Amino acid sequence: MSPLSDELKSLLKKGGADLVGIGDITGIEEKEAISKEFHHYTRAVAIGMKLHKFKQPEKMNGELDEHSLMLAYMKENEDITVKLGGLLQEATKFLRKRKYRCMAIPPIAVAEERKFISALYNLFSHKMAVTMSGLGWVGKNGMVINGEYGPNLIWATILTDAKLTPSLPQLESMCGECKLCVISCPVGAVLGINWSRARGKLEVIDLEKCSSFMSENSDKYGRPVCGICFMACPMGAKKTRKG
């Protein structure tokens, strides 16, 4: 690994990142990942910070306290999103000081309020950065799954032309025969398809059903949200954020 790669990873991990990976994005098909306007970027740096492993609560007085659980889930998402924003600033400052071009793509939660950043998700996704850097795969629930932490991570990405040493990409799903997220989805939006790099952008969930159900939760939580398939995933159950 190059000294530059080591320095950048060290900077990010000292700042609180739990996972940092570097993917080679040269040669990625335009239709799958990134438009020609961004082809001068050759590396994607995936930065992940872990969440608590939220589980479906036990029944209390015959009912599930899903409201409290969802509020806690949303609050931790917001806190980690802020921390990742600080890491992106530090990393881009580090790269630009060394005369490299770079573009920071914040966690998707930020995209809801910034039209320019929102548009980037149609051109390059965190899923692409994570899979190309070998840090995970796309689960049957459509979320990034890491072998150690499961889906319990929030991701940010930096695109750059810096001469960073990439890792081998993840080419196949490791979900196997597990169908817990399929079974748990209340609207049947999880299709039960195992992702692979060869399949490109094949959708593993019914986006219309998923979006419609999340929108129904807006009145209760102030924004479209769900998380049921996230909580059902058994991967990373023993890994939680300390402190």
* Any domain includes 238: no
127 or 110, which is more confident: 127
239 or 132, which is more confident: 132
* Any domain includes 241: no
* Any domain includes 242: no
Checking if the pLDDT of 112 tops 70, the result is no
37-77 pLDDT tens trace: 667 889 999 999 998 665 554 544 544 456 666 666 677 77
Checking if the pLDDT of 243 tops 70, the result is no
Number of domains in the chain: 1
pLDDT at 107: 85
* Any domain includes 66: yes
* Any domain includes 127: yes
Q: Which domain holds residue 133?
A: 3-232
pLDDT at 200: 67
* Any domain includes 133: yes
* Any domain includes 158: yes
- pTM of the full structure: 0.83
DSSP the chain: --HHHHHHHHHHHHTT-SEEEEEE-TT--TTTT--GGGTT--EEEEEEEEPP---PPPEETTEE-HHHHHHHHHHHHHHHHHHHHHHHHHHHHHHHHTT--EEEE--HHHHTT-HHHHHHTTT--HHHHHHHTTS-EE-TTSSEEBTTTBT-EEEEEEEE-S-PPPPPPP-B---TT--HHHHH-TT--B--PPPBGGGTT--SB-HHHHHHHHHHTHHHHSS----HHHHH--TTTT-----
* Any domain includes 237: no
Checking if the pLDDT of 122 tops 60, the result is no
189-226 pLDDT tens trace: 999 999 998 876 678 989 889 888 888 877 777 777 78
What rounded mean pLDDT belongs to the chain? 82
2-48 pLDDT tens trace: 899 999 999 999 999 999 999 998 876 544 555 666 678 899 999 99
181-195 pLDDT tens trace: 999 999 999 999 999
